[in-house]
């Protein structure tokens, strides 16, 4: 942890503290909608934070962060970053439940068995589930992928963004003018794009209820079946919470910058 990074940053505790101090969470429901963590995780973290006096409740029952800790988070996320971070969105429990139903319904339709809320998929089945979830996302789609290029799935995402669905992509800085123009085009449709040169993971999180971790890149040859791709899809609350925590941390790294706020082609 860097000298200027606040305590608990990049942990579940840090995510809850940020939700209260920076994103305005005041109730348990706010915390669930802002973080997407499952109830067990939220309750466990709140208990730990109360036990060390990192948070407290006001007389009207609202959550607050201890003053020194609040100032540390404000300095890190607001004063120093000057609004470069991603916009904050609440995702309702009903949206999480809906995407989980879509996930399970698609598997049932295809007669694919699922174990402990996880399933391994490859080839057309991975492509099929990914497209189905993209079509049925209600509120938010989070993506990490180092390689993005022209593909039908990106065109579908443009349509979703135009309908008000929040889409955030974490990728590598563009290496060519063509890639920079593609990213500019995505942003013109309302998609938020962030750059971090260390990104190599391929992750998609749908309405904070289902996650896919796979080898699939976001360009036509990969998502269209030209190459053999495989991965794991999960609706496990514990696993999706951990994926959200780590992906959110990557979006918020100092090495991550929002495209258009200083990025250059390599």
Q: pLDDT tens digit string along 103-129?
A: 999 999 999 999 999 999 999 999 999
CATH number, residue 17: 1.10.10.10
pTM: 0.84
Q: Output the pLDDT for position 211.
A: 98
Asked if 253 and 194 sit in the same domain, the reply is yes
In this structure, the answer to whether residues 63 and 101 fall within a common structural domain is no
The answer to whether residues 140 and 192 touch, using CB atoms and an 8 Å cutoff, is: no
pLDDT at 2 over 70: no
User: Do 98 and 29 belong together in one domain?
Assistant: no
161 shares its domain with 251: yes
* For residue 73, pLDDT beyond 60: yes
* 69 is a domain residue: yes
Work out the percent of the chain whose per-residue pLDDT is above 90: 77
Rounded distance, CA 214 to CA 257, Å?
24
Q: According to the model, what pLDDT value does residue 241 have? A: 94
Same-domain status, 118 and 212 = yes
CA distance 96 to 101: 9
Parent domain of 217: 93-258
Q: How much is the pLDDT for 266?
A: 38
Residue 72 has pLDDT above 90, yes or no: yes
Same domain, residue pair 150 and 182: yes
CA–CA dist 36, 95 (Å, integer)? 11
- pLDDT over threshold 90, residue 210: yes
Q: Are residues 187 and 234 in the same domain?
A: yes
What pLDDT sits at residue 225? 73
Q: Do residues 103 and 160 share a domain?
A: yes
Helix (H, G, I), strand (E, B) or coil at 100: helix
Are 188 and 239 within one domain?
A: yes
């Amino acid at each position: 942890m860097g000298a200027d990074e606040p305590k608990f940053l990049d942990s579940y505790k840090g995510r809850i503290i940020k939700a209260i101090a920076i994103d305005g969470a005041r109730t348990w429901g706010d915390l669930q909608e802002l973080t997407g963590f499952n109830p067990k995780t939220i309750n466990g973290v709140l208990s730990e934070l109360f036990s060390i006096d990192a948070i407290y409740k006001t007389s009207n029952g609202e959550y607050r962060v201890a003053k020194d800790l609040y100032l540390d988070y404000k300095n890190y996320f607001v004063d120093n970053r000057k609004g470069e971070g991603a916009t904050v969105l609440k995702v309702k429990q009903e949206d999480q439940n809906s995407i989980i139903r879509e996930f399970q319904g698609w598997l049932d339709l295809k007669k694919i068995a699922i174990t402990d809320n996880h399933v391994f998929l490859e080839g057309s089945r991975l492509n099929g589930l990914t497209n189905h979830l993209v079509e049925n996302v209600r509120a938010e789609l989070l993506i990490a992928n180092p390689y993005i290029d022209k593909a039908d799935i990106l065109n579908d995402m443009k349509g979703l963004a135009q309908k008000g669905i929040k889409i955030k992509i974490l990728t590598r800085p563009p290496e060519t003018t063509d890639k920079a123009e593609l990213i500019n085009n995505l942003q013109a449709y309302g998609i938020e794009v962030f750059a971090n040169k260390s990104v190599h993971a391929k992750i998609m999180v749908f309405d904070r209820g289902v996650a896919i971790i796979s080898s699939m890149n976001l360009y036509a040859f990969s998502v269209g079946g030209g190459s053999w791709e495989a991965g794991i899809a999960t609706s496990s609350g514990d696993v999706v919470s951990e994926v959200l925590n780590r992906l959110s941390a990557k979006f918020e790294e100092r090495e991550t910058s929002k495209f258009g706020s200083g990025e250059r082609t390599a």
